[in-house]
Amino acid sequence: MFETNFLYKTKKGKAVVGDSLELMKSMPDNSVNLVMTSPPFALSRPKEYGNKDQADYIEWILEFTKEVQRIITEDGSFVIDLGGAYQKGSPIRSLYNYRLLISMCDEQGWKLAEEFFWYNPAKLPSPIEWVNKRKIRAKDSVNTVWWLSKSDFPKADIKNVLTEYSDRMKKLIEDSAKYYTPKKRPSGHDISDSFGNDNGGAIPSNLLQIPNTESNSKYLKYCKDIGIKGHPARFPSKLPEFFIKFLTDEGDLVLDIFAGSNTTGWIAQQLNRKWLSFELDHQYLSASVLRFLDKEPFEDVRPKYEMLQFDKNAEIDAEGFLKQSVLFEPEAINISRNARPKRRANV
């Protein structure tokens, strides 16, 4: 797909400038294993990255979700990150993210596989009027992340995202008889002696605590070096990392339809998945190549960026200046190195 008219490519994927709604229409049915994205949120105040007004948001985004449903595989998944918002001029919360979910399920036939909540402990207090000035609301630091599918049983393997056991659980595993006696709980759950087995790690909850603290990232450093703005609304790499590991296998295709600075494509590259990234803003997507650059002197960075910024269909093969080693630490969502199972080979 997209053999021509792309901005840059690697051996694993391509970054394409354009309207993702139109780009998806050129893709075949059942061709994508995971769509992972964070669209512009329906905020009450306009942002520089082009968010939609709350009144128009649901109708607008439903056009995209309809195409996503067509292009994902029968066992594929759609993961959409949506930030919360207040009603304009009022300390009352907007329900746009919940209304969108209900519309997707009721009108388009999506299945809600599970709702996730991304807690960002590093988020600054907002909105200023209700939280900082009048002090009548708590800090809004949780995004809703809807995991949707076409079928009741989308591909998923929780063993790929096990978290590190707690210290107490580690002690129980070492000596189950000392710390635990199998019995029926007051809740009615019958906990057997297998509770003390070492299964490689703990099953994560649907509350993902991931601080968004990438202000010192290489991407932003290079943006500063060449005098351009980095994308202002980046989600942390650990968020797509979790879902890509959870919902796909190596060699699967991952698509981000609102790519921004191409965090999703970059992580998919590291995890040996194929990827496509669509972004309407040429400058943001051009700058996204900086995520892939090796540590180079400043004078070597600018020409690479300018090649991409000159032509939205530059068709640059970026493989020659990509960093091939792993660029992130996989334990940042408390994924233990010992907890990660060996991935089965593709067949």
Query: What confidence tens digit (pLDDT) does each residue in 154-175 have?
Result: 999 999 999 888 777 777 777 6
CB 163 within 8 A of CB 173: no
The size of the chain, in residues, is 347
CB 250 within 8 A of CB 343: yes
**Any domain includes 236:** yes
What total of structural domains would you count in the chain?
A: 2
Q: What is the sign, positive or negative, of the torsion defined by CA atoms of 231, 236, 240, 245?
A: positive
pTM: 0.84
Positions annotated as catalytic residues are 38-39, 81
Which CATH number fits the domain that encloses residue 295?
3.40.50.150
Mean pLDDT by 10 residues, the chain (347 residues): 89 95 97 96 52 75 97 98 91 94 98 97 88 94 97 98 83 66 62 64 94 78 83 88 98 97 95 97 90 69 81 82 44 37 36
φ and ψ of 34, to 5 deg: -145, 130
**Any domain includes 1:** no
pLDDT confidence of residue 294 = 66
Tell me the CB-side half-sphere exposure of residue 304, using CA atoms within 13 A.
Answer: 26
Kindly state whether residues 184 and 233 are assigned to the same domain.
no
CB 287 within 8 A of CB 223: yes
pLDDT confidence of residue 12 = 95
- Domain ends where: 199, 218, 249? 199
Query: What confidence tens digit (pLDDT) does each residue in 173-205 have?
Result: 776 656 666 666 666 665 655 556 777 788 999
Q: What is the DSSP string of 101-168?
A: HHHHHHHH--EEEEEEEEE-TTPPP--IIIIIIS--S----EEEEEEEESSSS----GGGGPBPPPHH
Kindly state whether residues 19 and 56 are assigned to the same domain.
yes
Q: Which helix (H) or strand (E) covers residue 17, if one does? A: strand 13-17
Buried b (16+ CB within 10 A) or exposed e, 173-198: beebeeebeeeeeeeeeeeeeeebee
Average pLDDT, the chain: 83
Kindly state whether residues 106 and 57 are assigned to the same domain.
yes
Kindly state whether residues 53 and 189 are assigned to the same domain.
no
Q: What is the DSSP string of 189-203?
A: -EE-GGGG---SSBP
**Any domain includes 342:** no
pLDDT confidence of residue 196 = 61
Domain ranges, residue 43: 8-165+200-333
- Domain ends where: 152, 180, 199? 199
**Any domain includes 157:** yes
